[in-house]
Amino acid sequence: MYILIYTIFSGLAILPLVLYLRNPYFIQDLRYTLTCIAIGFRLERVKRSKPFYSMLDSFLDKVKVHPNKQFILFEKSSYTYRDADRESNKIARALSQHAVLKEGDTVALLMGNEPTYVFVWLALAKLGCAAALLNHNLRSKSLMHCFSCCGAKVLLAASEFQGAVEEVLSSLTEHGVSVYLLGVEEEGNTEGLKTLSNNRVQQTSDKALDTQLRAKVTIKSPALYIYTSGTTGLPKAAVITQERLYIASNMQAIAGVTSDDIIYIYLPLYHTAGFVMGLTAAMERGSTIVLRRKFSASQFWDDCRKYNVTVIQYIGEIMRYLCNTPKKDNDRHHKVRLAFGNGIRADTWSEFLERFGDIRVCECYGATEGNIGFVNYIGKVGAIGREHFLHKAGFPYALIEYDTEREEPVRDSKGFCVKVPQGETGLLVAKISSRAPFSGYAQNQQQTDRKKLKDVFVKGDQYFNSGDLMRIDHEGFVYFMDRIGDTFRWKGENVATTEVSDHLIMVACIEEANVYGVKVPGHEGRIGMAALKLKENMDFDSKATYEHVRTSLPSYARPRFIRLQKSLDVTGTFKQMKTGH
Ligand SMILES: *[C@@H]1O[C@H](CO)[C@@H](O)[C@H](O)[C@H]1NC(C)=O
């Protein structure tokens, strides 16, 4: 009897040890599981809510709970939650009077990062309208294209973009679009260009709007149109429904952000990272935002210190830019505890932690239009996420064999796709279902269909083709390997451009490298070209570069052409553009 009790007790005592040995990430896994269950319950409640409980309602609840809490800090001004609510009431009233907006309309925004961007979006939500977030770097034909594919009848532009608007004004008016310029002091009168001056907005009542104005909004209504750059062709407008907005806005909760945090938002608000993962997710948390017009590597940490920032976002190359700034004594002097984002390379990750101190890096993966995401909630360096049984049960996905030469998934004799063995690289596909819908691109059925893969494992099923090659190791960590299209073939071998650039930047004189394949007459495939940006005040060291490339890369992967450039072309989210195809 005693023996039995003894055995049970000692068994209990070593239970944590056993769990730990079987899975050293047990505690984090458990915490993640609980968070996901909580979010799942919240989402179910939102789905059943009548009237529909949108992100706007989530914001309005925060206004009720803490009206005087700081919401947006921007340059020299600051706005509380109540301020933002009132400002957006005024804009909504002014818009509904002058622009004759009605529920269900889409309004395009052409603005830079500023508090008014947030107020205007809240105003549109209060009127039951969807917002199309235009990339303000676009001009003429591309701008017109983005505008027309969301079907907007109204364009709201910040006065700084008056020139860009005037270029396309005649096409816009031809299509029956009303254009309003915001942020001007007085009413102006250019032919076809209306103004909604600050004076007029400030004279409008700030009383709350009738919720009847947005009574028809449901969880399936489009909330936003966000443009994805894509590797080819013109930008495509991804439809972000209220449901997707809600799910994606829970990203900060998953990453461990709380309402006490102060979040630094410098990424453009016209992209998912800035607007959804940053802004609306912060609204969901009820936290404080430090908004910045645009990223500045030299100002970054000063801003963090000045505003007591605790959470930062990153994307693509930002972390490397930060690591490349000159070292300072106060590099570790800040309150940033968490960085979340996407696309940090393993070497930069380690360097970042070494230099800037103990910051938890939470790498997330997900495409704007995709129906699948991963979160590396463990902080395992280099991984973009971790498999989780709940996630897998609710949102089935697979890595399948991909033929890079024929640029399509491998099919077996029955015509079905083939899962890769654990630990090997495959194309990530995610099942399209009512729980994981793929809303596609607005008014672009062809591109929408191209992202769908049919008859993947059984006849009639449909999967979203992420276009990303991944690897999942034996512990369940997910690694991003490459993006389809970011590879080229030379001498019958695949060359991953990111891999080559990773090696090039290890050479002392090289700051950035953009690698792509170019055609040479009389040869099959493409040969490697590397566009390089050198570090400040350094000359190109051809000998060191050659030696490094020769020793670190197989012969077929070595770039044969080098271009030295003052700067490399990057898109708004700092992804390198692969030109020269
Ligand atoms: C930042 O925190 C310090 C110390 O906690 C405080 O004295 C200071 O006022 C804070 N700054 C801002 C902008 O909130």
Per-residue pLDDT tens for 128-179? 999 999 988 776 766 787 877 888 989 999 999 998 899 889 989 888 899 9
Q: Which of 74, 80, 308 to mutate to test the pocket of ligand 1 (most atoms within 8 A of CB)?
A: 308
Q: How far is the CA of 72 from the centre of ligand 1 (A)?
A: 16
Q: Residue 42: exposed, middle, or buried by beta-carbon count in 10 A (0-12, 13-18, 19+)? A: middle
* Domain spanning 494-564, CATH class: alpha beta
Two tokens at 419?
């899962």
- Topology of domain 249-369, per CATH? Rossmann fold (3.40.50)
Q: How far is the CA of 75 from the centre of ligand 1 (A)?
A: 16
Measure Cα distances from 416 to 142, 451, 458 in Å: 38, 17, 7
Supply the residue whose CA is at minimum distance from atom 5 of ligand 1: 308
Element (H, E) at 255: helix 251-255
CA-262 nearest atom, ligand 1: 14
Domain spans of the chain, in order of start:
52-243, 249-369, 370-482, 494-564
Give yes or no for residue 307 CB within 6 A of ligand 1: yes
CA-73 nearest atom, ligand 1: 13
Supply the residue whose CA is at minimum distance from atom 2 of ligand 1: 308
**Residue type for position 19:** L
CA nearest to 192, candidates 176, 174, 179: 179
User: Is-contact 217 242, C-beta < 8 A?
Assistant: yes
Q: How far is the CA of 304 from the centre of ligand 1 (A)?
A: 11
Give yes or no for residue 304 CB within 6 A of ligand 1: no
pTM of the model: 0.80
What superfamily would CATH give domain 52-243? ANL, N-terminal domain (3.40.50.12780)
Q: How far is the CA of 289 from the centre of ligand 1 (A)?
A: 15
Q: How far is the CA of 310 from the centre of ligand 1 (A)?
A: 12
DSSP letter string over 132-195? EE--TT--HHHHHHHHHHTT-SEEEEEGGGHHHHHHHHHHHHHTT-EEEEES-SS---BTTEEE
Q: How far is the CA of 302 from the centre of ligand 1 (A)?
A: 13
Q: How far is the CA of 325 from the centre of ligand 1 (A)?
A: 25
User: Is-contact 275 480, C-beta < 8 A?
Assistant: no
Residues 208-239: tens digit of each pLDDT: 999 999 999 999 999 999 987 544 446 678 89
From start to end of 416-492, where are the E strands? Answer: 425-431, 452-454, 462-472, 477-483, 487-490
CA nearest to 59, candidates 38, 40, 87: 87
Q: How far is the CA of 119 from the centre of ligand 1 (A)?
A: 26
User: Is-contact 464 372, C-beta < 8 A?
Assistant: yes
- Topology of domain 370-482, per CATH? Luciferase; domain 3 (2.30.38)
CA-308 nearest atom, ligand 1: 1
- Helix residue ranges, H only, 409-509: 445-450, 497-504
Give yes or no for residue 308 CB within 6 A of ligand 1: yes
- Specify the 3-state DSSP secondary structure of 365: strand
Give yes or no for residue 140 CB within 6 A of ligand 1: no
Q: How far is the CA of 253 from the centre of ligand 1 (A)?
A: 24
Supply the residue whose CA is at minimum distance from atom 8 of ligand 1: 308
Helices 115-126/81-98 angle, 10° precision: 60
Supply the residue whose CA is at minimum distance from atom 10 of ligand 1: 308
Give yes or no for residue 288 CB within 6 A of ligand 1: no
Supply the residue whose CA is at minimum distance from atom 14 of ligand 1: 307
Predicted confidence at residue 344, as pLDDT, reads 85
Q: Tens-digit pLDDT profile for the chain (581 aa)? A: 666 666 666 666 666 666 666 778 988 888 888 988 888 888 889 888 888 999 999 999 999 999 999 999 999 999 999 999 999 999 999 999 887 788 999 999 999 999 999 999 999 999 999 999 998 877 676 678 787 788 898 999 999 999 889 988 998 988 889 999 998 887 776 777 889 989 899 999 999 999 999 999 999 999 999 987 544 446 678 899 999 999 889 989 989 999 999 999 999 999 889 999 999 999 999 999 999 998 999 999 999 999 999 999 997 668 888 988 999 999 999 999 999 998 888 888 999 999 999 999 999 988 777 888 899 999 899 999 999 888 888 889 999 999 877 778 999 999 999 999 999 999 999 999 888 888 788 878 877 887 889 999 999 999 999 888 999 999 999 998 877 766 777 775 667 787 788 789 889 899 888 888 888 876 767 889 999 999 888 999 999 999 988 877 778 888 999 999 888 765 544 455 554 33
Q: How far is the CA of 403 from the centre of ligand 1 (A)?
A: 55
Q: How far is the CA of 73 from the centre of ligand 1 (A)?
A: 13
Predicted confidence at residue 572, as pLDDT, reads 46
- Specify the 3-state DSSP secondary structure of 528: strand
Predicted confidence at residue 193, as pLDDT, reads 87
Q: How far is the CA of 307 from the centre of ligand 1 (A)?
A: 7
CA nearest to 230, candidates 512, 571, 502: 571
Q: How far is the CA of 308 from the centre of ligand 1 (A)?
A: 6
Please indicate whether the domains covering 52-243 and 249-369 agree at the CATH topology level.
Answer: yes
Measure Cα distances from 408 to 198, 417, 460, 494, 517 in Å: 53, 10, 18, 14, 19
Supply the residue whose CA is at minimum distance from atom 7 of ligand 1: 308
Supply the residue whose CA is at minimum distance from atom 4 of ligand 1: 308
CA-306 nearest atom, ligand 1: 13
Supply the residue whose CA is at minimum distance from atom 6 of ligand 1: 308
CA-307 nearest atom, ligand 1: 13
User: Is-contact 469 425, C-beta < 8 A?
Assistant: yes
Supply the residue whose CA is at minimum distance from atom 12 of ligand 1: 307
Q: How far is the CA of 422 from the centre of ligand 1 (A)?
A: 49
Supply the residue whose CA is at minimum distance from atom 3 of ligand 1: 308
Any idea what DSSP says for residue 577? P
Supply the residue whose CA is at minimum distance from atom 1 of ligand 1: 308
Measure Cα distances from 277 to 56, 252, 272, 286 in Å: 15, 7, 6, 13
Predicted confidence at residue 86, as pLDDT, reads 97
With a CB cutoff of 8 Å and minimum separation 6, the contacts of 149 are 236, 237, 441, 442, 443, 444
